[in-house]
Chain A
């Protein structure tokens, strides 16, 4: 039922917008779902013998916090990080700690730079990625591995380059989230 409604809604979205409202479930749930999907995707996408796939869950979280500050709460890093830790292969707790810390840090920086642009947001995200990936390597090394630092350089570069695309995808998800297809009344 929902699927057919969605199809109709996207088919002639201008005519059928009157007397329709977005589903509150989707409006609230899509950001959480997309971050979880971002955590799962690198795991299933390729059987990699080197760390090359960007940490998509983290990128999606950053993108949501930058696109819609306050939509995902500041504490969202805790449950989403728990989910990421189940699959990422990092020592358990890495993402819980780092995602929570990143959300807090992003909030502080956002208060400092209320007027932002594409370049500033990209630079900011690049800074976060450039810190996050090496810290993950460090924590994995403390937990028993001994990976050298050059291993993660391609991943960092790729993650920074891919970030605007992730931002686009998140913007698409944001539009989908607010698609009005529920009848009012």
Chain B
């Protein structure tokens, strides 16, 4: 490409000053940016007000794209369904037959469970969700894993509330705006969830790795008892998350724990439920921790 001739300001004093002050403003912009950056690193919540206002403003765009995203996924799944219909039908038939038996057993167990609970005078602990809403945005180009949900303080969302899908835990609310909230996904490297193995309660911490998987760190070091396909649920310790919410499944065992895949992929979940904080349901739990509350003890 030929050089553009407009770089030289010529004899015009006005153009010379214009170019000069343009560069000054550029350098100043970079310096102000550095200042803002240092300030936001020192106090991470400093700009949360501006951010929530901005995400409130962009909420309509997010809602519209959430709709088309869901439609797009539905379309692909429908096309896929045509190709897999026969084999899938047979497989599902077998699964339904097995599931019918299991369901009958589960009903019996549930009945027994409620009888035993009544004996112990325990109350049911399955609280109603505060809000059921859509994921409307996520920071797809950053290494931080934040998402935005289309519900804010107008629907009673508060900082610290866990966000989940029917399949499992997604994250927890970090900043609340008027009608959107920012969620820290469990795959963010700053998120640490206390978990235990669903079958026998081996305790561990699940920390995000920023690439859609979680690093499980065992609390009791020794022989690593984990195996692939082990399912981990929240243990409820720390009072942030309610116990027994599914979180992740082990895909690869490492020396000191395992790498696990999130059970409820936020990309595939159209709707999420925001639950009340665990500490509101269990009065004995410690007070809701702040942003730093999820650090390893």
Contacts and interface: CB of A to CB of B under 8 A. Distances in A.
A90 interface: yes
Given A47-B267, A87-B55, A151 B46 contact: no
A92 B4 contact: no
Kindly name the residue among B4, B36, B37 whose own CB sees the greatest number of chain A CB atoms within 10 A. Answer: B37
Contacts of A115: 1-3
A40 B58 contact: yes
Contacts of B144: 89-90, 140, 145
Interface in B12-51: 22-23, 25-30, 32-41, 44, 46-47, 50-51
A98 interface: yes
Interface of B: 1-4, 6-7, 22-23, 25-30, 32-41, 44, 46-47, 50-51, 54-55, 58, 61-62, 65, 69, 135-148, 185, 187-190, 209-212, 262, 265-267, 269
Band of interface residues on A: 35 or more
Given A42-B140, A73-B22, A91-B40, 9 more contacts: A45-B65, A46-B69, A46-B140, A86-B54, A87-B137, A93-B34, A94-B33, A97-B33, A144-B190
A89 B23 CA distance: 28
A86 B56 CA distance: 11
A115 B2 CA distance: 6
Given A93-B39, A104-B27, A51 B267 contact: no
Given A100-B30, A104-B30, A136 B39 contact: no
B33 A51 contact: no
A73 B38 CA distance: 25
Interface string A67-93: 001100111011001000111111111
Contacts of B188: 145
B29 A100 contact: yes
A44 B209 CA distance: 22
A111 to B, nearest CB: 7
Interface in A42-71: 42-56, 69-70
Interface of A: 40, 42-56, 69-70, 73-75, 77-78, 81, 85-101, 103-104, 107, 111, 114-117, 136-137, 139-148, 151-152, 155
Contact of B61 (A42, A44, A114, A148): A44
A27 to B, nearest CB: 15
Given A46-B138, A47-B69, A147-B210, A152 B36 contact: no
Contact of A88 (B3, B25, B142, B148): B142
Contacts, number: 207
16 contacts: A47-B266, A47-B269, A48-B267, A49-B265, A49-B267, A70-B4, A77-B29, A87-B54, A89-B145, A96-B37, A97-B33, A97-B34, A97-B37, A100-B33, A140-B142, A142-B41
A114 B147 CA distance: 43
A44 B36 contact: no
Given A42-B141, A49-B212, A143 B26 contact: no
A123 to B, nearest CB: 14
B211 to A, nearest CB: 4
Contact of A89 (B7, B28, B142, B187): B142
A151 B215 CA distance: 14
